[in-house]
Amino acid sequence: MAISGDALLVRIYVGESDHHDGRPLYDAVVHLLRERGIRGVSVFRGIEGYGRSSRVHTTRILALSEDLPILVEAVDEAARIRAVLPELEPMIGGGLVTLEPVEVVIHRGGEAAGEGQA
């Protein structure tokens, strides 16, 4: 079922070295969101950033970091996103979670562009 109109974007900021139950935290988050039927999730690895500690994490060769910033983004209807937040909260140790309203203009899945069209 496609999303259309008003939705929520949840952004989950964590570190590459963060773990939950023995697996990378971003991986655990993606699997939880998939299990809960959240319709769209992506993970992005940052090249540089810092959080509460103000310690800069970077990919620059002279200051190579093993704890780069990771961003998990998910989009779905507001009720579906809000329903999973209580399960995310205990998983996110030193991270940050934000919500913002978005308008979904196009949401297609399952078929490659052009397939199934007459």
Give a yes or no: residue 60 inside a domain.
yes
Give a yes or no: residue 4 inside a domain.
no
Q: Are 32 and 81 in contact (CB under 8 A)?
A: no
Statement: residue 118 has pLDDT above 50: no
CA 73 to chain centre: 3
Can you give the CATH number for the domain in which 39 is found? 3.30.70.120
- Residue 27 φ then ψ, to 5°: -65, -45
- Tell me: the pLDDT tens digits for 22-74? 999 999 999 999 999 999 899 999 887 766 665 655 555 554 556 788 999 99
Q: What is the mean pLDDT of residues 76-104?
A: 94
Give a yes or no: residue 90 inside a domain.
yes
Q: Domain count of the chain?
A: 1
pTM of the model: 0.79
**pLDDT in the model for residue 49:** 72
